[in-house]
Amino acid sequence: MGLFDFFKGGSGSKGTASPSTLRKHAARVANKRAQAPDRWDSIQALAQMGTPEAIEALLVRFSFQTDPSITDQEEKDAAFEAAIEAGPNAIEPVKQLLRTGETIAWPLRILDRLLEPEEVIAELLGALSAMHLEYERDPERKLSLLSTLEERRDPRIIEAAARFLEDVNETARFYAAGAIYAQGSADAVRPALLAALAKEDSVRTRARILEGFAARGWDVGDLREKLLKQLPPGFAIDAKGLVTKK
């Protein structure tokens, strides 16, 4: 009897395995120093199980890299396909990975295949809501979430991104402005954008905010004189406070 036959039920459906068997394969998949053929066998075994616990174990494979790179990619692709094949069984483990993993790229790819777009955005916003605005030694997850929202369209994104206009990380502020403007109408957060513009010390983020004002025909009100002293290259503000981009 082959390995796949052991984990398949008699009708060809996905089977179950003992807790000890699951633990053995989970440990092997999580071990970057394991022999590649052994780790591959365990990836396949967990894929055949297809349970939430097996998928959770498989998702650990996205947390490290191995050499050679072609093997690393093949293993991650196999874990990805296993999650897709598991369907509903994969949803909760993948959501958890999106919320807590070091990177959002793989769980986001999986959720995009398993959920409707509005459900994926809800998960992204949920993960973002747990982020704070203070200094972080490694802000990459937050930056990835904000930059990803710039590529999505949903009215909920505007309010969720607006609070990051006050983030201590300049790149977060830059992406937050982009995510807001990408949604089209952003009138509701114009006051927040104006407040951010008043204290923004980054030229590129100031330019991004001003670009949105110019595109929408918004004026800068009482900030005109202050902003004239620190306009990024390519921008002008007329006597009425309207921003134009040269």
Domain boundaries, given as residue ranges, for the chain: 1-115
Kindly tell me if the per-residue pLDDT of 242 is higher than 70.
yes
Q: 22: closest CA among 58, 46, 55, 50?
A: 46
Kindly tell me if the per-residue pLDDT of 217 is higher than 60.
yes
Helices 190-199, 203-216: crossing angle, 10 deg rounding: 150
Per the CB < 8 A criterion, the answer to whether 57 and 45 are in contact is no
For residue 8, the cross-strand partners are 14
Q: Looking at 11-20, 31-40, 71-80, 233-242, which range is the least confident one?
A: 11-20
pLDDT of 156 reads: 96
85-113 pLDDT, tens digit each: 999 999 999 999 999 998 999 999 999 99
Task: Using CA atoms of 38, 44, 47, 52 in order, give the dihedral in degrees to the nearest 10.
Answer: -10
* Cα(208)–Cα(157) distance, integer angstroms: 17
* Cα(136)–Cα(145) distance, integer angstroms: 15
Kindly report the pTM of this predicted structure: 0.88
Kindly tell me if the per-residue pLDDT of 148 is higher than 90.
yes
Backbone φ and ψ for 23, nearest 5 degrees, come out as: -65, -40
